[in-house]
Amino acid sequence: MRKIFLITAMLLTQFILCPQPGHGASTDEQFEQYNKQYEALKPPAYSSVRSDYVFEQTALATQQTTKILELIYDQNRQLLSKYDEALSKYDQIIHQNNEIIKLLSKNSAKDETNK
């Protein structure tokens, strides 16, 4: 029970105190930062000091997963925005093509009546 409370407290503290990733942060930068922090948490070999480092690594992994998911969410939102722009341009092209077809059909009908 005490371990669960400790992990929960660590996670909440990290989520509140740690800044969120910037919009310009890349996935490679996130992984590099994570690897550095993860390795820094490991105690020296055959040491009994900081034997609970696994909990800190688990909390760090959870935090990093959240950052990566936020980054993916932002990228997906930007991609959807670009798709919406492309769809509106295609709709405009379709509308213009329909107008051209109407004008051409009117001109061909006039040409046939003039013959």
The mean-pLDDT minimum among 34-48, 78-92, 98-112 falls in 34-48
Distance CA 8, CA 13 (A): 9
* Inside any domain, residue 87: yes
As for how many domains the chain has, the answer is 1
CB atoms within 10 A of CB 31: 12
* Inside any domain, residue 2: no
* Inside any domain, residue 4: no
User: Where does the pLDDT of residue 88 fall: very low under 50, low under 70, confident under 90, or very high at 90 and above?
Assistant: very high
Per the confidence metrics, is the pTM higher than 0.95?
A: no
For residue range 5-57, what is the model confidence (pLDDT) as tens digits?
Answer: 556 655 555 555 554 544 455 778 877 888 888 777 777 777 777 677 778 88
Per cent of the chain over pLDDT 70 is 74
Containing domain of residue 92, as a range? 10-114
Selection from 76, 32, 34 nearest residue 56 by Cα: 34
- Both structure tokens of 37: 């922090």
* Inside any domain, residue 3: no
